[in-house]
Copies of this chain bind each other. A is one copy, B any other.
Amino acid sequence: MTEAATRKRGRGTGGGAARRAERTAVRIECAPVITREVPDHEPLTEEALSIIEANAETVLQEIGVNVVENPAALALWRDAGADVQGERVRIPKGLARKLCETAPRVFTQHARNPERAVEIGGRNLVLAPVYGPPFVRDQAGGRRYATIADFQKFVKLGYMSKWLHHSGGTVCEPTDIPVSKRHLDMLMAHITLSDKPFMGSVTEPSRARDSVEMCEILFGKQFVAENTVMTSLINVNSPLTFDATMMGALEVYARANQAVILSPFIVGGAMAPVSVAGTLAQVLAEVLAGVAYSQLVRPGAPVIAGAFVTSIDMNSGAPIFGTPETAQITYGAGQLMRRLGLPFRSAGAFCGAKLSDAQAGYESANSLQAGLYAGVNFMLHACGWLEGGLVASPEKFIMDADQLGILHRLAKAIDISENRQAMDAIAEIGPGGHYLGCAHTQANFKDAFWRSDVLDYKPFETWFDEGARDSATLAAARVEKMLADYSPPPLDEGIRDGLNDYVARRKESLPDSFA
């Protein structure tokens, strides 16, 4: 069944229900992957880059990394030429970088809708939503534990967000489902409620295997064997530690030729030195070791070099966002990853703000701008993040997703076609004239300026008469409207049945566990 279904995947030709769904479906617009046509911001000099690269190699050779509770990984490292003492792996200078060479510089992650496939790496930027919050906050209900209903809501909003390329992974933790089973419901939500690419489970190797098997039902075994259909998030336990759970998931994905984001998780001052240059050396060392390991598992496995970086507030101990030092680390990491030739994951609409208020706006915009000009290739957390990642918010989700349109525009080269030079218009209007209504304006205004779909651009009086609403309140109204307008993308009934069977079978075999 799965093989047959595969050949029809995403084209909605599988059955009567799918055909009906396709006929009635609202056409959902999705902008292509961003291709940066403008220069990156590169604050580190050649000399600084060389120093940091040399320091990373020194860290790997002299300090090494811990590979915890993973004898097979230790054996792979020993065979590759590392000095393994207990769980400490010291990697001779140059070895990790050499091993990284087999990782692809660019790869394509497929989606069940072929139009939604994304090419990751090079000059591209792929945008994916928030990942991981155990709480949600919305205007109506305040802050509370997230549920699978919230999860599904975020997937729907992501599907309808035209600047967002990716459905993400754990857009929030569905805390009403046992941990042992929630990955199945999360995957079903991504697969059935959206047709954008998505991420797999990493909380246990068996859950990674479930993710691969569900993709085999969706895409077909053969297709999955030959193509990347998931990109999953493997955090390094910084500093310099690779734990068995995350590495176990990495091993599953790498063997299945599925992509992982190998990502140091850094709160500067806690998991890394309290300095930009020191943090960058550690991040690079961790990336080198982690990516190299993925290539030991399977040379050529697709991998994204990550850097989740925030800094700590030394007064409160809280992680803080949108700060200049995290931007500097993001810019510097971008330079280092480009030299390494790996796709780069970083940034997001980060904020420490508890509410979708001015603080949320400042911090998120600062982080998004840094991500764009740092040359990020895969931006997780591009929308919906609140309160240091503890909270996902639907209002913040659609406000951020709207702001992503700005990144799409800023990445493009400035058009200097004869039309855009507008010399005829300047001559026509002349000194003291007015361009509103002139032929050039009429011909060009529709796509001349990016326009927010969420923010308020009304005259004061109109805005006041309509209730003087702040942006979070306006966003809440838009969330309601989007969810009311939502209809799912068509899915082959055979595939849906196959997935439902799989999930039911797995749920039956797994204990209810909340750990």
A390, closest chain B residue (CB): B460
Chain A window 432-472, contacts with chain B (Cβ cutoff 8 Å), 1 for yes, 0 for no: 11111000110011101111100111111001100010111
CB pair B239–A431 under 8 Å, yes or no, is yes
A353 and B62 contacting across the interface, CB-CB below 8 Å: no
- A215 CB → nearest B CB, Å: 33
Q: How many copies does the complex hold?
A: 2
Chain A to chain B contacts (Cβ below 8 Å), 15 pairs:
A38-B41, A66-B431, A270-B436, A273-B425, A273-B426, A274-B435, A275-B421, A275-B444, A277-B416, A282-B426, A311-B449, A323-B409, A354-B464, A357-B471, A365-B366
Contact A358 B471 (CB under 8 A): yes
CB distance from A160 to the nearest CB of B (A): 20
Residues on B with beta carbons closer than 8 Å to the beta carbon of A354: 456, 460, 463-464, 468
Residue in contact with A353 in the complex, picked from B355, B356, B456, CB distance below 8 Å: B456
Tell me, yes or no, whether A414 is within 8 Å of chain B by CB. yes
Judge whether A399 is part of the interface by a CB distance below 8 angstroms: yes
A276 at the interface (CB under 8 A from B): yes
**Cβ contacts under 8 Å, A360 to chain B:** 358, 361
Give residues 261-308 of A contacting B (CB, 8 Å).
268-279, 281-282
| CB within 8 Å for A362 and B239 given contacts A43-B414, A390-B460, A414-B48 | no
CA–CA, A420 to B414, complex, Å? 38
**A328 close to B420 (CB less than 8 A):** no
Q: How many whole Å from A197's CB to the nearest CB in chain B?
A: 25
Is A33 in the interface zone, CB < 8 Å from B?
no
Distance in Å from the Cβ of A432 to the closest Cβ of chain B?
A: 5
Which residues of chain B are near A316, meaning CB under 8 Å? 457-459
CB neighbors of B among A211-251 (8 A): 237, 239-241
Q: How far is the CA of A463 from the CA of B388 in the complex (A)?
A: 14
Q: Does A79 contact B (CB under 8 A)?
A: no
Decide: A471 near B269, CB < 8 A? Known: A43-B39, A55-B421, A323-B406.
Answer: no
- At the interface, yes or no: A515 with Cβ under 8 Å from chain B? no
What is the distance, in angstroms, from A450's C-beta to the closest C-beta of chain B?
5
A325 contacts chain B at the CB level, 8 A cutoff: yes
A18 at the interface (CB under 8 A from B): no
Interface contact B66-A426, CB-CB below 8 Å: no
Min Cβ gap A469→B in Å is 9
Contacts of A427 in B (CB 8 A): 62-63
CA distance A311 to B444 in the complex (A): 13
Q: Does A129 belong to the interface (CB within 8 Å)?
A: no
Is B281 within 8 A of A325, CB to CB?
Answer: no
